[in-house]
């Protein structure tokens, strides 16, 4: 088996159908399998897969176990020399999988690789970044300085996005990983429920001597927001906790405590900035949603239980 395509999904019935259709319309040339892990969807996703894609291997969970655990389930049940994590809100384009496989075959020390992520209008989407440091995170948390000095995602720069290169980490919307690399470094860290899993995984790859490669020859369309709501407290808190957890795990306790302080101060400033907007626009639900999310990051625990 050359490739195992793994899709973790939660209440993304229509997106999942579109994703699967695109994969079968643009399949890799070698032997492949598709494994869908459903995280207790209530929108008919399971029935849709059974009816329209009976060849798909379907794993049904009784609860939403999160991105990392669901993909680990799929990895443990897969047979491919390579596994490819694919979001249900991704549309595969012609030759995507073939180009990624060719890159991995040509680079035996590449542990993982990912393609260009495109928005539906064809513009570049953030897809890779450097590993977090306190300096970089501090600049990223301060919007005006971030925009003037260094984009949070280097992949926002078109001149970089068109060049294949080694990067620190890539997002998991479409990420191919070598099985021998997984055998050495282990599965995704299941303490992260959503957001930050790929950063940790790619960091462990680099520590073990594997590289992560951004493949500018391959591309997919990433619609975004499939299994996540527009701007929810849970999503925002998952991102903040993921940052703190990375520093606790891979830097030091002191760095993690500093990161907690940075997150709280920045979110407090952002929450206070929302107050005038809420008074002027009482119907602005997104403004209120952001305020609630920012305030949660000020008051709630930032460590995983």
Residue with tokens 């969807």: 41
pLDDT at residue 159 above 70?
no
Where are the alpha helices (H) located in the chain, listed in sequence order? 13-25, 45-52, 66-76, 96-106, 134-141, 143-149, 158-161, 179-185, 197-207, 233-250, 253-280, 285-299
The answer, as to whether pTM is greater than 0.75, is yes
The pLDDT score that the predictor gives to residue 44 is 97
The number of beta carbons lying within 10 Å of the beta carbon of residue 153 is: 18
Pick from 162, 163, 95, 167: which is nearest to 128 by CA? 167
Question: Is the model more confident about 283 or about 28?
Answer: 28
Question: Is the model more confident about 283 or about 178?
Answer: 178
pLDDT at residue 34 above 70?
yes
The pLDDT score that the predictor gives to residue 274 is 85
Token readout for 23 is 């994969």
Question: Is the model more confident about 284 or about 173?
Answer: 173
Over residues 36-73, the pLDDT tens digits come to: 999 999 999 999 999 999 999 999 999 999 999 999 99
The pLDDT score that the predictor gives to residue 75 is 99
Token readout for 66 is 């999160």
Over residues 174-217, the pLDDT tens digits come to: 999 999 999 999 999 998 766 689 999 999 999 999 999 999 99
Distance from C-alpha of 82 to C-alpha of 68, rounded to nearest angstrom: 17
CB 28 within 8 A of CB 56: no
Q: What is the mean pLDDT of residues 100-118?
A: 98
- How is the chain split into domains, by residue range? 3-222, 233-299
The CATH class given to the 3-222 domain equals alpha beta
pLDDT at residue 278 above 80?
no
pLDDT at residue 164 above 90?
yes
The pLDDT score that the predictor gives to residue 148 is 45
The number of beta carbons lying within 10 Å of the beta carbon of residue 261 is: 10
Q: What is the mean pLDDT of residues 254-265?
A: 92
């Amino acid at each position: 088996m050359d490739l195992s395509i793994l899709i973790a999904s939660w209440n993304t019935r229509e997106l999942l159908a579109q994703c699967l259709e695109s994969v079968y319309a643009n399949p890799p040339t070698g032997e492949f399998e598709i494994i869908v892990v459903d995280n207790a969807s209530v929108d008919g996703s399971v029935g849709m897969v059974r009816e329209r894609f009976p060849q798909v291997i379907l794993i049904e969970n009784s609860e939403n176990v999160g991105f990392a655990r669901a993909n680990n389930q799929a990895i443990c049940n897969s047979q491919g020399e390579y596994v490819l994590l694919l979001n249900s809100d991704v549309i595969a384009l012609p030759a995507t999988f073939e180009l990624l496989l060719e890159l991995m075959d040509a680079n035996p020390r590449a542990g993982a690789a990912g393609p260009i992520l495109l928005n539906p209008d064809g513009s570049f989407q953030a897809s890779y970044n450097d590993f977090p440091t306190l300096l970089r995170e501090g600049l990223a948390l301060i919007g005006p300085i971030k925009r003037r000095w260094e984009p949070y995602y280097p992949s926002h720069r078109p001149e970089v996005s068109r060049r294949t290169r080694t990067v620190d980490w890539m997002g998991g919307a479409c990420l191919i990983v070598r099985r021998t690399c997984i055998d050495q470094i282990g599965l995704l860290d299941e303490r992260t429920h959503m957001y930050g899993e790929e950063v940790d995984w790619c960091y462990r790859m680099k520590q073990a001597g594997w590289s992560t490669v951004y493949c500018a020859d391959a591309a997919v369309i990433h619609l975004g927001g499939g299994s996540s709501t527009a701007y929810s407290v849970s999503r925002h808190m998952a991102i903040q906790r993921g940052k703190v957890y990375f520093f606790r795990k891979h830097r030091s306790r002191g760095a993690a405590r500093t990161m907690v302080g940075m997150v709280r101060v920045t979110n407090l400033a952002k929450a206070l900035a929302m107050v005038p907007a809420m008074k002027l626009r009482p119907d602005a639900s997104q403004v209120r949603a952001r305020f609630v999310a920012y305030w949660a990051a000020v008051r709630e625990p930032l460590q995983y239980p």
